[in-house]
Amino acid sequence: MKAQICLVDASKCIGCRACQAACKQWNQLPAINTEFTGTYENPPQYSCSTWTKVVFREYNENGRVQWLMSKQGCMHCTDAACKLACPTGAIYHTDEGTVAIDRIKCIGCNYCAAACPFQVIGFDRFTNRAEKCTFCYDRLVNGLKPACSTACPTGSLVFGEEREIISKAQDRVEKLKKKGHQNARIYGLDEVDGTAMLYVLADKPEKYGLPADPRVPFGTRVWNAIYGPLRVLVVIAVGFGLWANLTKNKEIDKAKEEAQKESE
């Protein structure tokens, strides 16, 4: 049960990207070098330094132009594919109901990224860790709203008590339907048993670049069913492996240093 969730009302998103900048600023994520490829959307991919971004999609159907924007990133699913895929149990649900990655346990196998139906998990090849939105857990436990929703000027991102947010979303969808948005809907209430990022969409999810029917991949479920009970053993094995690796590395470093000294 999630106590507090975040509404992402895509119909109110103006694409100002204050959320995107706020995420980088609060989490001190470095900027990366990008290039202009024909869309306002940038960076192109989620990565260890990009946890959230505004996704832009444009359409011209029979002369009716649409420019759809929405903040996207980790949805914090109840039925979280990443958690099921993780072989070391590094991914878990916090007491706040959000999905987090334990950096110490993460071995960088990238199974989570492959399993994520939203494709929002990045990978840091320098630290060999999976990285994603933390829902600003550090802010939540200190009584603050996530950085993205704090920065949003229009009310597209609203953080609050789950029941209130759901009812707000339902009202909004009714209003949008009345205004002629026949495909308006809530997204994230039933999908993957509910997400902590609850969307109001004025059109079909695919048009926003979101999967129409996000699910935990079948393979991930099978894998989890077979592999789940063995996880403890794996953690021990992996732990041993890491320790051995570290020891070995130290030996190598020491040998290198000695070799360098000798050469001097």
Partner 1 sequence: MTNHWNDYQHSDVIMAIGGNTAENHPISMKWIEKAREQKGAKLITVDPRFNRTAAVSDLYVPLRPGTNTAYLGGLVKYILDNELYHKEYVQHYTNGTYLIEEGFDFNDIEGVFSGIEDDPARNAKKYDRTTWQYQRDENGEVKKDPTMEDPNCVLQLMRKHYERYSIANISKITGCPEETLEESYELFCTTGEPGKAGNILYAMGITQFTHGAQNVRSIAVVQLLLGNMGMAGGGVNAQRGQSNVQGATDMAILYHIIPGYMATPQQAAHPTLNDYNEKETPASGWWSNKPKYLVSLLKAFYGENATPANEFGYQWLPKLDGRDHSHIAMYKDMSEGKVEGMICWADNPAVSGPTAGAKRHYSSKLKWLVSVDLFENETASFWKPEAGANPEEIDTEVFVLPAAASYEREGNKANSGRWIQWQWKAQEAPGDCKSDLWIANELFKKLQELYREEGGTVPEQITKMHWDYDGPDGQVDIVKVCKDINGYNVKDGSLVNNFVALKYDGSTACGNWLYSGYYNNLENPPTKRRKPEKEGIGSHLEWAFAWPLNRRIVYNRASADPSGKPWNPDVPQVWWDEIEGRWKTNDVPDFNVNIPPLESAKTPFIMLPEGQGRLFSAFVNDGPFPTHYEPADSPVPNLLYPDATYNPISQRFYEDHVVETDEEKERYPYVLTTYRVVEHYQSGIMTRNMPWLNEMMPELFVEIDEELAADLGIQNGDRVAIESKRLYNNGEQQSIEAKACVTKRLSPFMINGQKKHVVGLPFHWGYMGMNTGAVANDLTPSVGDPNTTIPEFKASLCNIRRVG
- Residues in contact with partner 1 by CB under 8 A are 11-18, 20-21, 24-25, 30-40, 42-43, 58-60, 63, 65-69, 153-155, 175, 179
- Supply the minimum distance, in Å, between the C-beta of residue 40 and partner 1: 8
**CA 86, 90, 92, 94: dihedral to nearest 10 degrees?**
-160
**Which one-letter DSSP state was computed for residue 236?**
H
| Shortest distance, position 23 Cβ to partner 1, whole Å | 10
Q: Are the beta carbons of 46 and 133 closer than 8 angstroms?
A: no
Least Cβ distance, residue 13 to partner 1 (angstroms): 8
- 133 CB neighbour count, 10 Å cutoff: 27
Cα(195)–Cα(214) distance, integer angstroms: 11
Separation CA 31–CA 3 (nearest Å): 32
Q: Among residues 115 and 210, whose Cβ is nearest to partner 1?
A: 210
Smaller CB separation from partner 1, 99 or 166 = 166
CB of residue 17 vs partner 1: minimum separation in angstroms? 6
**Could you tell me the smallest distance in angstroms from the CB atom of residue 31 to partner 1?**
3
Nearer to partner 1 (CB atom), residue 107 or residue 151: 151
Nearer of residues 47 and 94 to partner 1, judged by Cβ: 47
Interatomic CA distance for residues 3 and 8, integer angstroms: 16
| Residue 106 or 151 having the CB closest to partner 1 | 151
Whether residue 75 contacts residue 196, with contact meaning beta carbons closer than 8 Å, is answered with yes
d(CA 208, CA 41): 12
